[in-house]
Structure 1
Amino acid sequence: MDDYSSVRNVEDMDEVREMVDRELTFDGRAKWLTISFTKNKKWAL
């Protein structure tokens, strides 16, 4: 979370997950998506 992000807390992160879920379509197939948030670049690589 930084000055460029509107995500400020866990509730905001959950809303991002909801937005991604709404936008993804899989032609009726089940979705499985893991979304992880981290500030530490070590965990992002």
Structure 2
Amino acid sequence: ALTNIEKTGPYFHDGSVASLEESIKIMGKLELNKELTEVEVTEITAFLKA
């Protein structure tokens, strides 16, 4: 579930990523093979926190 995701860090199966923003950047690269811009990361973060 994504409820309160901003409060459930650290992230990933091993807790290796401290911030939601960093986890979004990493997954953008792994899943989309794309470096997300800061605007994209900010927008995705806001969406997940809504």
**Structure ranking higher in helix proportion:** 2
TM-score by length of 1: 0.33
Q: Higher Cα Rg: structure 1 or 2?
A: 1
